[in-house]
Amino acid sequence: MSARVIVPCICVLASGLLVAAQAGATPPLPGERIAANVTAAGLDVSGLTVDEAAARLDGAFGERLRQGAVTVRAADINWRLTGAGAQVRLDTETSVKRAVYAGREHRGARVDVPLAVTYAQSAVNAFTNRIRKRLHRQARDSQVRITVRRVRVTHSKRGRDINRTDLRQKIGAALSDPHSDRLIRPRLQSPRPKIDAGKARASAATVVTVERRTFTARLFKNLKVVKTYRVAVGKPQYPTPRGRFTVTSKQVNPVWSVPNSPWAGELAGSTVAGGTAANPLKARWMGLAGGIGFHGTGESGSIGTRASHGCIRMHVPDVIALYERVPVGTPVLIS
C-alpha cells in the first residue's frame, strides 16, 4: 500500500492553511484562479486555473519525481532506488487544491505550499533492509580461549550498523522532493561489544586445566601458568571425563557420600565423616560435576597414574595450596 508523504516546505506554512485543508474547505469553483503570490514547491502557480496549474506542476516536476533516483552512499558502496521502482506519483489534484486554499487564506500574502506525492512504503522498506543487510556487522566480543597449556583472550571488535528508521524517512523525503540532490549519506553506527578484553580477562583471572595424558594440573592466574601439579586421574574403566567444567563447591575435610556402586563394596550408599581414616577424600574438595572433583589422597604412590574412580587426586599439601587459590566459579578444562 502506498503511503502519502508531504514534501518539506520551502517556507513555514501557517497553521490556518492546514486547518482549512483538513476542515472540508469548499472545492475550487469552475474557472477559479489561484490567488497572487502563491507557489507550489517554489513554482509560481498564481493566476492559473486548476487545470493550468496541474499541467504546470506535472511538466515541471512529474517526470523528475517518477523517473529520478535516490542514491544512498555508505562505506564506499552505492545503492540506487528509482522513482519508478518506488512507485512515486505526483498527485497534482491535491497539490493544486492546496494552492487554491492557500491563496484564499492568505489573501495576497506570499505563501508556498508543499506538493502531494505518494510512493510505495514497502519498496522503501525493502530497499533500506537491503542496505542494512549489506552494511550490518555484529560487534564481536572478546572470548577466553582455554587449552591445557595456554589461556588467551581474543580481541573484541566494534560492529557496524545504520539507523533504518532515519534512513527510511530520508529516502521518502528525497523521493518526494523535486529539488533534492537525492544523494543520502547515512551516518554509520559503531555498536560496542558487550564483552571487551578487560572483562574477558577478569572472567579468566583464575583457570585450572588437567592434562590426563601427562597427569598434570596447571593453575593459571591472569592468563599465565603460575603452578603445575602432578595428579592421578580415573582408571580406564572409570575415566575422568573430558570437557569444560566449573568449580561448583569447596569443602574442608569433606564428607564422603559413597556412590551406590559395586566398586564401593560394603560402604556403598553410606556416608563417611570428613577427616577420618576411612574417608579417601583427604583435606580438601573442589567439586566439578557428577560427583567428580579435586581432592587430596592418602595414597601418594597413585599420583601420576590412572588410579581413581574419576576424580582428580592430588598430594595433600598440593590440594591445600590449590584450594586457597581457586574460588568457586573457576573454569576447569580437562583434556
Per-position DSSP letters for 110-173, written without gaps between them = -EEE--EEEEEHHHHHHHHHHHHHHH-B--B---EEEETTEEEEPPPB--BB--HHHHHHHHHH
Q: Which of 80, 184, 194, 77 is nearest to 136 (CA)?
A: 77
Tell me the residue type at 222. Answer: N
Which of 9, 106, 155, 311 is catalytic? The answer is 311
Which of 11, 136, 295, 309 is catalytic? The answer is 295
Pair 157, 143: CB distance under 8 Å: no
Residues 6+ apart with CB under 8 A from 201: 153, 222, 223
Would you call 311 a catalytic residue per the annotation? yes
For residue 157, what is its C-alpha cell? 571488535
Pair 72, 171: CB distance under 8 Å: yes
Q: Which of 213, 218, 166 is nearest to 187 (CA)?
A: 166
Residues 58, 69: Cα–Cα separation, whole Å:
17
203-225 burial code (b ≥16 CB/10 A, e <16): bbebbbbbbbeebbbbbbeebee
Pair 190, 159: CB distance under 8 Å: yes
Would you call 295 a catalytic residue per the annotation? yes
Integer CA distances (angstroms), 46 to 13, 18, 29, 36, in order:
17, 19, 15, 5
Pair 41, 115: CB distance under 8 Å: yes
Q: Among all residues, which ones are annotated catalytic? A: 295, 311
